[in-house]
Structures are given as C-alpha cells and as structure tokens.
C-alpha cells in the first residue's frame, strides 16, 4: 500500500503539489487523472522516491520513503513517461541489468528475464538492441523493466501516450493482465482508458487532490434523477420546481402527449424520492420512470477541473 | 553497486568510448616511449611516467564525460534513482567502472617497463613507485572529472568542462611558479601534479598517497551531495 500524507512538492517558488493525502490500497488499479500541469507526474515521482516531498511524507507498506528508501523502492516498479532505456544494450541485456539492479540473485536472472519477456511479448526481440525497436516495443521494454525484481506495485506514467491505436490496445491489455496480480497506479489523459482499466480514480487539479474513490463512488453520488410521469408539463413543472431539495428542473423531449419527462438536479445528499412520490400522488400523475442519472467520468472530470487550467 | 559497475564497464565497450580512450592513450604513450626511451637509448622509466601523466589531463574527460551527464540528459537517472541502490552505490559503481578501464590501460603500458627491463636497466622498486603515483593521479583525475560530469547536463559539455578543470589544475603549477610566496605555496599544495612529484623521484610518499585519496574521496562525496541536493530542489 502506498500513502501520500500531506505531501507537498515545490520546484523553487512553484508549488506543484499541495498537501495531497492519497491512500492506494493493495490490489487496486488506480488511475491518476488531471489536465497538463495538474501534478500527476510529480505525484508519481514522489511515490517512486525519485525525489522527496518538500513537506509531508510518502509511505510504502508502512515504511517511510525518506528513512527506508531501499526497502520502499524494492516494492515499486516504475515506468516514467519517457521509458529510461539504454539504447546500446540488447533487450535481454537491459532486463538482466535492471534485474541485477533490483537485487535478483544472479542464478535466478535468466529465468526471471525469460518470464518477463514472455509476459510482455518480448521473446522475438530479446536479442535486438533497444535503440532499434519501435515505440510500442520500447514501451513494452519499459514495462518489462518495471516488472524486474517482481515488485508488488507498478507505477506507470502515461503508458499509452504516443502509441498507435493497435499498440494502445496491446499495452492496455498488458496493464489489465498485470492488474490481476499487482497494484497498478497509472496516469492518463484518456478518460475512456481509465474507465476501462481502473477500479479506483484520483483526480488532481492545480496540484490538489480534488476527488478520489472507486468509479462507483465517483459516479454513484449522483445528484440527478430522471423522471417520467403521466400528466401535463404545465401542471407538473411548477410543482416540481417548488419541491424542497430540487435545484433545477430540466424538461426533456418524450415525443408522447400527456407525458412529462424531466431531469431533476438535486442538492447534495438531498433525499427527495418520498416527497416526490407524495407530490405526484397529490397531482394524480403516476410515475412511469424514476432513475438516478449517473454522471460519466468525463462529466465528473470536467466539473472537478473546471477552474483555471494550471500553467 | 556491482550491477552499475558491470553495466558501465559494458557500456565502455558497447560504444566507441572505451576503444577510443584506450587506443589514443596507448598510441600517444607509444610515441612518448619512442621519443623518450628508444630514441634517447634511456632506461629512465620515471621520466616516461612523468610525461604519460599529462595524458590523464587530456583523456580522463573522455572516460568520464557520459558517466553521470548522459543519464541526466537521457533521463535514465529515473531508472537508477528509483531502484533500490544508494547514491553512494550509484556513484561508486560508475567510478569503479572508469577506474577499471584506466587500470586496464595502465596495465597495457607496463609493456614499456618490460622492454626497458629486457634491453636496459630497470629498478623494480622505482618503477613500482612511479606506477603507483601514476595510477593514483589518474584515479584522482577520474574522480574530479566524474564530479564535473555530475554537474553537467550532457556528455559534450561535461567533456569540455572537465578538460577546462584539468587544464586549470595543470596551470596551477605554472601560476605557482610566478605567484607571490603564500599563494605559490597554496597552489603547489593543491596541484595534482606537484603533489605527485615524490613518486616521480622514486619516493613512496604517504603524504602524496593521502593527498590523492583525499581528492578522490572529496570529489566522490561532492558528486553524491550534488545528486542528493538536486532531488530536493
């Protein structure tokens, strides 16, 4: 488990991350979302111990990154946005080096490298120099290097950026496979990708954590209800607007005469279904449909990051 | 540290750097051997070592230029600094790789001593002392140039800067000759060349050994400090 506790990072006078509290439970696939400059890469770099926080702390499985860096780093594999590769080395040679770096015993290294190559689909290019590989394969080598030493947590910074559509699908499939056995944290701009792969989402904006939770938690706290009732809109709409807890009533097209369809925007945590039922009974307007309208991740993201974009 | 040492050692010979360094060093030292020993019909190996020691100034930057600066430029430092290896292990591994290539080069030059022993008169103790000073001086140059590489953003900048620093260290001797008394003393005390003169007279000077080891230790400690400070900025 990784925890950022009041983690703040300043680059000179610029504050890239402000007092972020984030707890990443074991076994989850967490998507870190944010516009450019939101602090995603800074947060990932703090988690991996690439640099320390200006204030606050980073803990990995209860250990402090500052006081026990080696033990913490053993538990984390990292793929930065630009994979850190030595172009002159062969794929197998590079993975052997990273395995040594990550304290895999010499006698176990050949088998370990072979397993990782198999998992990441690198068997065919194992003998080729890294510098001669396509971008997709380089990304795979980057992910493979993050797997060396078998760390329980993988941190991937925009792993699909700059890849062609086929490579994107392949890398996503690989992340999905890895997510079954590892805790995975990855940053992305692509909301559908996060929706496809993640069990939890954290949204950063201007260096602050503005929302964190499972996709259901993020979408489930919906404040909108879709209502269809039998009755004339002229009669029902004014009554609905006067209902306590309702902020806005947005009429919707139905195409049927004598049916009123609306989207009700309610106050946070307002429980209006009982009052709504009683009101519509009083108006003799039977309910045909009453369902919560879930926000898409895109809508949630846009709402939470609506402020001025970070420079 | 062993993993870094092995990778850096491989990197010297995956790229032309190692071959260029060893090839140029051996070619230039062969010219010096020809001019100083063969042409003059001399057995004075200490003079040869004294002349060869100037090659450190010119060639150590080739050996050290990419050690730290290239990782910074290509961002491969992200791999190293997020791995379970200490900064001391990182700097130490890279330093030892450069020193290994340096020692291999020095080993190749011992053929000159063998030729002198075969066809002239060689005092083994004198030659061993000379070589000890020669190696320590080379190791000190490597440490200083590694520090320079840590401070630079790219290998070319690191090479040029290291050459400048090495040249300045050599110039210290020249300046010391013309400087006023106290300054001359300070410059001579700090000079990597004048401090190693006892070795070139066949004397095993512990002060000089200590001086070289201090330069090495201080440079490596500073390199570690620079890396650590950069992470906090």
Q: Which of A50, A82, A103 has the CB atom closest to B84's CB atom? A: A103
Q: Is 90 exceeded by the pLDDT of residue B4?
A: yes
Concatenate the DSSP letters of all residues of A207-226 into one string: TEEEEEEEHHHHHHS--EEE
Instruction: Report pLDDT digits (tens) over A234-251.
Output: 888 888 888 888 888 888
User: What are the chain B neighbours of A102 within 8 Å (beta carbons)?
Assistant: 83-84
| Partners of residue A69 in chain B, C-beta under 8 Å | 84, 86
Give the residue among B62, B72, B77 at the shortest CA–CA distance from B22: B62
Chain B neighbors of A54, CB-CB under 8 A: 232
Query: Testing the interface with A: which of B82, B155, B228, B230 to mutate, by most A Cβ within 10 A?
Result: B82
Q: Let me know the angle formed at the C-alpha of A266 by A264 and A272, rounded to the nearest 5 degrees.
A: 90
Enter the tokens of residue A185.
């944290």
Boundaries of every domain in chain B: 2-232
> Are A51 and B232 an interchain contact pair (Cβ–Cβ within 8 Å)?
yes
- The DSSP annotation for A75-137 comes to TEEEE-SS----TTSBHHHHHHHHHHHTT--GGGHHHHHHHHHHHHT-GGGTTSBGGGS-HHH
Domain architecture of chain A: domains with CATH? 2-219 (3.40.50.300), 223-293 (3.30.70.260)
| Closest C-alpha to B61, from B187, B164, B135 | B164
φ/ψ of A118, rounded to 5, equals: -65, -45
* Cα end-to-end span (Å), chain B: 25
Q: Do the beta carbons of residue A84 and residue A98 sit within 8 Å? A: no
Output the tens digit of pLDDT for each of chain A's 311 residues.
888 888 888 888 888 888 888 888 888 889 888 888 888 899 999 999 898 898 888 998 888 888 888 889 999 999 998 889 998 899 999 999 999 999 899 899 999 999 888 888 888 888 899 989 888 888 889 989 998 988 999 999 888 877 778 878 888 888 888 888 889 998 887 788 888 888 888 888 888 888 888 877 776 655 778 888 888 888 888 888 888 888 888 888 877 888 888 888 887 666 788 888 888 898 888 998 888 777 777 777 777 777 554 44
Encode pLDDT of A84-134 as tens digits. Answer: 999 889 999 999 999 999 989 989 999 999 988 888 888 888 889 998 988
pLDDT of the residue at A270: 67
By a Cβ cutoff of 8 Å, what residues of chain A touch chain B? Answer: 11-12, 48-52, 54, 69-71, 73-74, 76, 78, 80, 82, 84-86, 88-89, 93, 97-98, 100-103, 145, 149
List the single residue in A with minimal CA-CA distance to B81: A50
Is pTM beyond 0.90? Reply is no
Q: Which residue of B has its CA nearest to A75?
A: B84
Chain A residues within an 8 Å CB radius of B83:
73, 98, 101-102
Q: Measured between CA atoms, how close is B195 to chain A, in angstroms?
A: 38
CB contact under 8 A, B84 and A51: no
Q: Which residues of B touch A15 (CB under 8 A)?
A: none
Q: Which two tokens stand for residue B227?
A: 């890396």
Contact A73 B7 (CB under 8 A): no
Q: pLDDT of B69-111, one tens digit each?
A: 999 998 899 999 999 989 999 999 999 999 999 999 999 999 9
Residue A122: CB partners within 8 Å, gap ≥ 6? Answer: A91, A116, A137, A140, A141, A144
Closest CA to A54 of A11, A21, A22: A11
State which residue of chain B sits closest to A46, comparing Cα positions: B82
CB A222 within 8 A of CB A231: no
Give yes or no for B7 touching A (CB within 8 A): yes
CB B47 within 8 A of CB B120: no
């Amino acid at each position: 488990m990784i925890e950022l506790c009041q983690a703040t990072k300043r680059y000179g006078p610029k504050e890239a991350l402000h007092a972020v509290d984030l707890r990443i439970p074991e076994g989850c696939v967490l998507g870190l979302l944010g516009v450019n400059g939101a602090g995603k890469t800074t947060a990932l770099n703090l988690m991996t111990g690439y640099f320390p926080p200006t204030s606050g702390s980073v803990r990995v499985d209860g250990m402090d990154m500052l006081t026990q860096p080696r033990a913490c780093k053993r538990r984390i594999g990292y793929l930065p946005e630009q994979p850190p590769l030595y172009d002159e080395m062969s794929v197998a040679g590079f993975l052997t080096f990273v395995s040594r770096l990550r304290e895999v015993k010499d006698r176990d290294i050949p088998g370990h490298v072979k397993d990782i190559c198999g998992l990441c689909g690198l068997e065919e290019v194992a003998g080729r120099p890294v510098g001669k590989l396509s971008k997709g394969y380089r990304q795979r080598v980057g992910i493979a290097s993050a797997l060396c030493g078998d760390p329980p947590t993988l941190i991937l910074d925009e792993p699909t950026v700059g890849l062609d559509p086929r490579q994107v699908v392949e890398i996503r499939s690989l992340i999905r496979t890895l997510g079954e056995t590892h805790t995975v944290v990855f940053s992305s701009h692509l909301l559908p990708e996060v929706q496809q792969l993640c069990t939890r989402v954290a949204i950063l904006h201007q260096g602050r954590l503005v929302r964190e939770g499972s996709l259901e938690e993020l979408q489930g706290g919906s404040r909108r209800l879709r209502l269809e009732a039998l009755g004339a809109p002229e009669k029902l709409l004014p009554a609905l607007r006067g209902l306590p807890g309702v902020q806005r009533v947005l009429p919707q097209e139905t195409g049927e005469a004598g049916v009123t369809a609306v989207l009700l925007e309610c106050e946070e945590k307002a429980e209006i279904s009982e009052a709504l039922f009683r009101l519509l009974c009083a108006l003799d307007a039977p309910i045909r449909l009453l369902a919560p309208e879930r926000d898409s991740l895109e809508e949630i993201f846009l709402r939470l990051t609506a402020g001025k974009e970070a420079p | 540290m062993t993993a870094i040492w092995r990778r850096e050692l491989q990197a010297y010979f995956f790229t032309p750097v190692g071959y260029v360094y060893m090839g140029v060093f051996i070619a230039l030292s062969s010219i010096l051997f020809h001019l100083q020993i063969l042409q003059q019909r001399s057995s004075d190996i200490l003079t040869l070592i004294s002349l060869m020691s100037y090659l450190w100034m010119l060639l150590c930057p080739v050996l050290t230029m990419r050690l730290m600066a290239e990782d910074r430029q290509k961002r491969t430092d992200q791999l190293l600094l997020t791995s379970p290896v200490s900064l001391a292990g990182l700097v130490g591994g890279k330093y030892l790789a450069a020193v290994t290539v340096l020692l291999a080069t020095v080993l190749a030059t011992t053929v000159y001593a063998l030729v002198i022993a075969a066809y002239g008169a060689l005092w083994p103790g004198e030659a061993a002392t000379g070589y000890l000073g020669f190696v320590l001086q080379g190791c000190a140059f490597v440490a200083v140039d590694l520090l320079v590489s840590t401070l630079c953003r790219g290998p070319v900048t690191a090479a040029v800067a290291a050459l400048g620093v090495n040249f300045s260290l050599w110039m210290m001797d020249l300046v010391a000759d013309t400087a006023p008394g106290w300054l001359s003393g300070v410059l001579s005390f700090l000079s990597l060349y004048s401090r190693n003169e006892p070795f070139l007279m066949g004397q095993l000077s512990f002060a000089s050994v200590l001086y070289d080891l201090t330069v090495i230790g201080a440079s490596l400690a500073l390199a570690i400090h620079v890396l650590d400070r950069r992470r906090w900025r």
